[in-house]
Amino acid sequence: MTIEENVALGGPPWRLRANQAYQALQNVDVSVVITLYNYAGYIEECFESLVASIQFDVSISVEVVIIDDASTDDGALVLLASSLAHRQIPLLLVKSRHNAGLSHARNLGLRLSRGSAAFILDADNTVKPPCISRLYRCLRETGANAAYGQIEKISALDGSIVGLVSNQAFDLARLLAGNYIDAMAMFSVATLFEVGLYDVGMIHGWEDYDIWLAFGFAGMQVEHVDEVLACYRVHADSMLNRLNEHVPKVGRYLYLKYQQLLPQPAADSLLFGVPVALLLQPEVCVLSLDPAPLPDVGTES
C-alpha cells in the first residue's frame, strides 16, 4: 500500500510521537531505523541492547526512529514503557495506520531520519554494545558507503547459537550466487537514496539482498568488520523460511531487474540462489509484479 493510498483512506497515514530528547537533538550522526510488526515479545530486548550500544560511545550522536507498521499487538506500548527508563535516548515512534510492508516501513524510517548514516534493525534482533560505534567509525575512517559486521544466528526456541551470517567480506561475484549478508548494517543515507531505497516490489522478501545487489552494481564501497556485532533471531516461521517456496519467483524478479548489468552466467551455475537453467524459464518462475526500474543516479524512487 502506497502513502497516497493510505491518505486516500482518510486521515493522516501515521501518528508521530517524539520524546524531549529527540526534539532537543540538533546534530545527528546516526539514525537507527527499527521496523516493528507484532513483535511485542522482543522489542524490549531489542531496544535495551540498542541503548547499551548507544551508551558504549557517547561521542556519537544517535537517534532512534521506530516504525510500527500497524501492529495488532501492544509492541508500541511495551517500547514506550521501556523507553521511560531511558529518557536521554532520542526516540521517534511512528505508528502507521495501515500495514504497508517491510520495504515501505524502512523507507519511511529513512525519509524521517536526520542522521548522515543509518543503521537498519528489525525489532526481534539485538546488537552488541560496540556495534554502532564500530560500524559508524568504519564508515567515517574508510569513506565507505556501507559497513557490516558478523552476526550470530540465535534460535528463537532456546537462544542457542546456530550459525553466523554476514561473516564474509563484500564481493559482488559471490553475492550474485546467493545472499550471505543480513540487513543489519550501517549505511550512508545519501547512498541509500542514490540507489533508490528499498524496492517495494520485493513482495516475497529479500529486500536486504536487493539493496546489497544495488550497492554492488553501483560500485559502492562496502566494508566488512570482522567482529560479531549483532544477533539475528531465527524463527520457525521467519521470513527467510517462508521465502523458500518463492525463491524462483524472487530470483526471476531480480534477473529481470538487473539483467542489463549481469555478466554471462555459466549454464550450471547459481544466480540469485536459483539454478540458471531454471531462472531462464519464465513459465516456471511466474512473477506477481514487474520489477521496479533502476533509478537514475541522484534520484529518489
Note the pLDDT tens digit of each residue in 194-204: 999 999 988 66
Which of 5-14, 138-147, 217-226 has the least mean pLDDT? 5-14
Domains of the chain: 3-237 (3.90.550.10)
Percent of the chain clearing pLDDT 70 (strictly above): 86
- Residue 293 has a pLDDT of 42
Please tell me which of 136-145, 152-161, 243-252, 285-294 the model is most confident about, judged by mean pLDDT.
136-145
Higher pLDDT, 127 or 301: 127
**Separation CA 261–CA 37 (nearest Å):** 35
Percent of the chain clearing pLDDT 90 (strictly above): 68
- Partners of 63 in the β-ladder: 31
Do the beta carbons of residue 148 and residue 224 sit within 8 Å?
yes
Sign of the Cα torsion 273, 278, 284, 285 reads positive
Map grid coordinates 567482529 to a residue.
Answer: 227
Note the pLDDT tens digit of each residue in 140-156: 999 999 999 999 999 98
**pLDDT mean across residues, the chain:** 87
Could you tell me if residue 101 is left (phi over 0), alpha (psi between -120 and 50 degrees) or otherwise beta? left
Residue 238 banded pLDDT, cuts 50, 70, 90: low
Residue 86 banded pLDDT, cuts 50, 70, 90: very high
pLDDT at 207 over 80: yes
Note the pLDDT tens digit of each residue in 107-120: 999 999 999 999 99
